[in-house]
Structure 1
């Protein structure tokens, strides 16, 4: 699993993964609203789909937000569903 990155110039969080089914990147496009990041879209490259990389990416994003004092506002259905299943990260929600 690669290092989680915030590409602020592109308004995108990114992380690389290597799995048994292949490797690639998971990313989330976001909009900035003050100290919050509105998560607009989460996507994994085809080789990672179904591997659990998306969930690990979401956990990395939540931990990044917690460590950097950011708030996340999930708008994408995947991000909304993930946060509903992981109430232990409610403290990072906007």
Structure 2
């Protein structure tokens, strides 16, 4: 599993998906709910599963912290629709 870096002050997770190439995920916080607002994978690595690596690592950490998520960015929405094993982390969008 790649090393996950979390900067709670900047509200950012980073994963070195390939040596020298980092993907990141930004979020905002409202109480116990983290809204995933942006994901980034370097252009030269798109379509190679790096976004999946990023999401799996971040969601594993969020689950360990007992937090809930609200996907805002389109990649996070699509990822969560395709991977039902993470549905228990979602909050309603009411």
Which category describes the TM-score, using the shorter chain as reference length? 0.7 to 0.9
Which residue is 1:9 aligned to? Answer: 9
For the 8 Å contact 1:13–1:29, the answer to whether it is kept is yes
TM-score normalised over the length of structure 1: 0.87
Which residue is 2:83 aligned to? Answer: 86
- Rounded Cα–Cα distance in structure 1 between residues aligned with 2:90 and 2:14: 19
Please state how far the C-alpha of 1:23 moved relative to its aligned partner.
4.5
Which residue is 1:33 aligned to? Answer: 30
Change (3 A) 1:63 1:6: same
- Rounded Cα–Cα distance in structure 2 between residues aligned with 1:69 and 1:36: 10
Report the 3-state secondary structure (helix = DSSP H, G, I; strand = E; otherwise coil) of the residue aligned with 2:78. helix
How many pairs align?
Answer: 91
Task: Kindly provide the CA deviation profile for residues 20-78 of structure 1, in whole angstroms up to 9, marking residues without a partner as x.
Answer: xx741111111111111110111112232121010111111111111110111100000
TM-score normalised over the length of structure 2: 0.87
Moved over 4 A (4+): none
* Cα-Cα RMSD: 1.4
For the 8 Å contact 1:65–1:71, the answer to whether it is kept is yes
For the 8 Å contact 1:23–1:47, the answer to whether it is kept is no
- Which of 24, 28, 39 aligns to 1:42? It is 39
